Amino acid sequence: MAEHADHPAYPVGLRLSGRRVVVVGGGQVAQRRLPTLIAAGADITLVSPSATPAVEAMADAGEIRWERRRYQDGDLADTWYALIASDDDAANDAASAEAERTRTWCVRSDNADVATAWTPATGRSEGVTVAVLSTDAQGRDPRHSAAVRDAIVEGLRDGTLAAPHHRTRPAPGVSLVGGGPGDPDLITVRGRRLLAEADVVIADRLGPRDLLDELPPHVQVIDASKIPYGRFMAQEAINQALIEHARAGKAVVRLKGGDPFVFGRGMEEAQALAAEGIPCTVVPGISSSISVPGAAGIPVTHRGVAHEFTVVSGHVAPDDERSLVDWEAIARLRGTLVLLMAVDKIGAIAKALVAHGKSPDTPVALVQEGTTAAQRRVDATLATVAERAAAEDVRPPAVIVIGDVVAVGTGAAPRPAE
């Protein structure tokens, strides 16, 4: 109302659990606002002749009560809070008038000036609710509110923003964090926040090493490959280092390439920590097995081309007695084959696949250092891959993709069947 316009809004957090809330109109505004009202535990009645499919689904699920009709006077009886968002101006005005009469706080999507309440731009991160209301000379400025909200929530999530005097001490223990394939943007939000809170980071050679540059100077960064192992195996020495730093009360992040549980020995570390009673959190990561082909334009599945993909470690040759892979069975599969750690043995692997019946013309792509600035792709077939890999000097880390999906992005793939 005009006489109130000069005063700033008074911010408040409504505790709506079990309290009647009425929403007038079942369109896009209701669809956006309802999930938060449902999450707040409000007892919600929607009054609207129609609703979007998403809103209808909330009614079907029993999350809201839906009265399929137009607004009528008296609908706001016993209501604590009303959201008026229909496309019927007369109904909006009438509902708004009833709210004023009955002292019901009321948000209006069509006319913020006459509303008695405004919805702030909100977001949540780790138990903090951020609510932003900005105003300019014209009144509310929802775009600016949303932009400020996004900046704050993102900062809280990735750990770049924290109240200096209230920075929560992360619990001592170890987080096994999947760092993604290499591009620093491809770590999860949770992984990035844990990194920002760490006292000690034990990192592999693979993975997003650029992220380590961002860490504050007090953080101790340890290169896992340089941990002296003396009488231990290298992996055991890493486990010991994790245990020792966690026992010293430090927040430890074990930063691994890709996903910790895809050829990452993550479970060995989790088990070693469990055996010592040290808390361990596992944060999944984007595995190179899917993301590196994708970054090179190769989908691991494609409709009508591949209905399965199989990820295989190629670190031992097919005739090596330590191999656990049934190459004969693998050769019979029609889908995509993704090989990790296979650059050295690709000649022997290609030979075994052809010997077991795969066509020598099967397309192959080697993608080296995927998702990084140094990414490159070399194309071949099973018949030529050993020679091509040598001629092009392909080096680890590389993901090798075998199958018709390799040709999909190049337009040379077979036409989709079903």
Smallest Cα–Cα separation from 371: which of 182, 107, 139? 182
Segment 154-193, which members bind ligand SAM (CB under 6 A)?
A: 181-182
Span interacting with ligand SAM, options 145-153, 230-238, 257-265, 319-327, rule CB under 6 A: 257-265
Q: Does 202 bind ligand SAM (CB under 6 A)?
A: no
Please identify, using beta-carbon distances, which residue of 21 and 224 lies nearer to ligand SAM.
224
Q: What is the spatial distance between Cα 290 and Cα 177, in angstroms, rounded to a whole number? A: 18
Please identify, using beta-carbon distances, which residue of 35 and 396 lies nearer to ligand SAM.
396
Among 170, 264, 293, 363, the residue binding ligand SAM under the rule CB under 6 A is: 264
Among 396, 410, 414, 416, the residue binding ligand SAM under the rule CB under 6 A is: 396
**Which residue in the shown chain puts its C-beta closest to ligand SAM?**
258
Among 26, 257, 284, 363, the residue binding ligand SAM under the rule CB under 6 A is: 257
Write out the two tokens for 35: 């999930």
Q: Does 40 bind ligand SAM (CB under 6 A)?
A: no
Torsions phi, psi of 160, nearest 5? -75, -15
Nearest-approach distance from CB 343 to ligand SAM, in angstroms: 7
DSSP string, 294-351: HHTT--S-BTTTBS-EEEEE-SS-TT-TT----HHHHHH--SEEEEES-TTTHHHHHH
State the DSSP code for 260: T
Nearest-approach distance from CB 311 to ligand SAM, in angstroms: 9
Among 26, 123, 208, 370, the residue binding ligand SAM under the rule CB under 6 A is: 370
Pair 327, 318: CB distance under 8 Å: yes
Residue 397, preceding peptide bond in cis (omega within 30° of 0): yes
Q: What is the spatial distance between Cα 262 and Cα 399, in angstroms, rounded to a whole number? A: 13
Q: What is the spatial distance between Cα 9 and Cα 232, in angstroms, rounded to a whole number? A: 64
User: Helix 142-158 to helix 189-197 angle, to the nearest 10 degrees?
Assistant: 60
Distances (CA, A) of 280 to 138, 146, 159, 251, 273: 52, 35, 20, 10, 7
Span interacting with ligand SAM, options 28-36, 131-139, 283-291, 299-307, rule CB under 6 A: 283-291
Among 66, 71, 81, 263, the residue binding ligand SAM under the rule CB under 6 A is: 263
Span interacting with ligand SAM, options 67-75, 124-132, 251-259, 320-328, rule CB under 6 A: 251-259
Q: Does 299 bind ligand SAM (CB under 6 A)?
A: no
User: What are the residues binding ligand SAM (CB under 6 A)?
Assistant: 181-182, 206, 257-259, 262-264, 287-289, 292, 340-341, 367, 369-372, 396-399
